Structure 1
Amino acid sequence: MIDTHAHIYASEFDQDRDEVVQRALDAGIEHILLPNIDLDSIEPMLATEAAYPQVCRSMMGLHPCYVDANVDQTLDTIHSWFDKHNFIAVGEIGIDLYWDKTYRKEQEHAFITQLNWAKEMDLPVVIHTRDSIEETLALLRSEQNGDLCGVFHCFGGTIEEAKAINDLGFHLGLGGVSTFKNSGMDKVIPELDLSKVILETDCPYLAPVPHRGKRNEPAYTELVLKRIADLTELSSKKVAQITTNNAKSLFSL
């Protein structure tokens, strides 16, 4: 398995990161992919990648929740990192209208700017959407020239939204939300095109059942895998094989 979205560089893991990585390896995790969020996360993210070079791979991007009035200055710094380090994706980028809509225009500007980087560098994008799937899809449709690919991470939407995302050439990242009883994902997952699905945790957030509400970690990818296997009536081995191949192909691993 590959955990395609994990913040194991976060301070929540400072006391036991070695053990967390070891549990992931013991559970059958081959790679843990690290999305950047802001300027402060770069150093711990790269240090984590350096500590586990066979396992961890980093991305570079500006998360919408960290967009503010200084967006252009921040984007310049983020962009400069692509000349200094080999990143597997532009991420985590997107639109978040859940917490605060103050910088909505700046969020859209940052999103489009980073989509253009991805086109120029031929990299996939990792997209964060919260209360913003339609807005994000509209922007993507205007920017998709056939060169954009990537994933809508932490997908918890409808079958129609999943199809719209796939039609644009994008994957769906399934994580802990897939195991929540009230998420409606039990109806959605059996209808998904598994050739466009990858696994993730978004740890330390959104731990799957039965750990819901506690700290999430990459080893719990297995619980997401089992949920998808149960709902699609496929073997865990088959779902692991499909989703791992999808992730390797998408991120050129």
Structure 2
Amino acid sequence: MNWIDTHTHLYSHKFESDRTEMIKRALEAGVSQLFMPNIDSSSVDGMLELEAQFPGQCLPMMGLHPCDVKENVESELAIVREWLSKRKFWAVGEIGLDFYWEKTFVPQQYDAFREQIKLALEHDIPIAIHSRESTRECIDVVKELHNGSLTGVFHCFSGSVAEAKEIAEMGFYLGIGGVVTFKKSGLEQVMEEISLEHIVLETDAPYLAPVPYRGKRNESAYVPLVGEKIADIKNLKIEDVAAITSMNARKLFKML
């Protein structure tokens, strides 16, 4: 079976002791492509080093994470713009809004989100959206700027069934990871209501490891555990979940 991890922070310092081995474990588990969202200017070098080490397997995005929107937002966005003008990236991400940690820079988060959506449209690539405690607000911004060609994924989706349907109707995907294996996550009902055609798989490693590794460091080799849970919920063969979600990921990132 072939799997794709559509969102994994392989460059994280939490992998310093065994990064290469961790990536090889994922490849051995059948996870053939690993898409890496950028955080800010400090994460670019590590991300691109992994791309060079694992060409065609570790695939970079470019963007400014909402939690890293601070006083220097304009200089950080200038770096994003510069990188996107120099070479190919698979998406603009990880971008969006985060109302969980702090709200000091909410106006700047909105400005950065809109600016980066416009960059995605300019370069004809999808967006990877971070929407913690802000799913409704992110949907509204996407609708505001959607011109019919904008595509992307709501990474680590945590909204309602109604919001999931609204996202699918916009032509966007839901990124589903280890949280779907947690009791009382609410995602089981979403999975029951939403067609697999609108779902891609992710880990968000090193965060949010699926059961039975919950609370421990996550890694991309655990994607099949997410697929297994979705197969159980939807009463499908795991092979079908792997095939359909991987095809969705290739469509999302315009690999076809």
TM-score normalised by length of structure 1: 0.98
Alignment of 1:7-46 (within 5 A): 7-46=9-48
**1:120 and 2:119 matched:** no
* Residue 79 of structure 2: aligned partner: 77
Runs of 4+ in 1 over 6 A off after TM superposition: none
Q: Which runs of 5+ in 2 are unaligned?
A: none
Q: Which runs of 5+ in 1 are unaligned?
A: none
* Residue 104 of structure 2: aligned partner: 102
Q: Write the deviation string for residues 155-212 of structure 1: whole angstroms up to 9, x where unpaired.
A: 1221111011112221000001111002021222111121110000000000001100
Alignment of 1:162-241 (within 5 A): 162-241=164-243
Equivalent pairs: percent with the same residue? 50
Q: How far apart are the structure 2 equivalents of 1:33 and 1:103?
A: 27
* Residue 243 of structure 1: aligned partner: 245
What is the DSSP-based 3-state SS (H/G/I as helix, E as strand, rest coil) of the residue aligned with 1:49?
helix
1:146 to 141, 148, 153: 148
Q: How far apart are the structure 2 equivalents of 1:211 and 1:18?
A: 20
Quote the offset at 1:141 in angstroms: 1.1
Q: How far apart are the structure 1 equivalents of 2:122 and 2:129?
A: 17
Quote the offset at 1:101 in angstroms: 0.6
Q: How far apart are the structure 2 equivalents of 1:249 and 1:164?
A: 19
* Residue 135 of structure 1: aligned partner: 137
Quote the offset at 1:42 in angstroms: 0.5
RMSD: 0.9
Quote the offset at 1:15 in angstroms: 1.3
Q: How far apart are the structure 1 equivalents of 2:74 and 2:158?
A: 31
CA contact 1:156–1:178 (8 Å) conserved in 2:
no
* Residue 68 of structure 2: aligned partner: 66
What is the DSSP-based 3-state SS (H/G/I as helix, E as strand, rest coil) of the residue aligned with 1:183?
coil
Q: Give the residue type in structure 1 aligned to 2:8.
A: A
CA contact 2:135–2:158 (8 Å) conserved in 1:
no
Quote the offset at 1:252 in angstroms: 2.0
Q: Give the residue type in structure 2 aligned to 1:55.
A: Q
What is the DSSP-based 3-state SS (H/G/I as helix, E as strand, rest coil) of the residue aligned with 1:30?
strand
**1:51 and 2:45 matched:** no
Q: Give the residue type in structure 2 aligned to 1:241.
A: A
Q: Give the residue type in structure 1 aligned to 2:211.
A: V
Q: How far apart are the structure 1 equivalents of 2:70 and 2:96?
A: 14
What is the DSSP-based 3-state SS (H/G/I as helix, E as strand, rest coil) of the residue aligned with 2:89?
coil
Q: What is the number of residues matched between the two proteins?
A: 253
Q: How far apart are the structure 2 equivalents of 1:19 and 1:70?
A: 35
Q: Give the residue type in structure 1 aligned to 2:225.
A: L
TM-score normalised by length of structure 2: 0.97
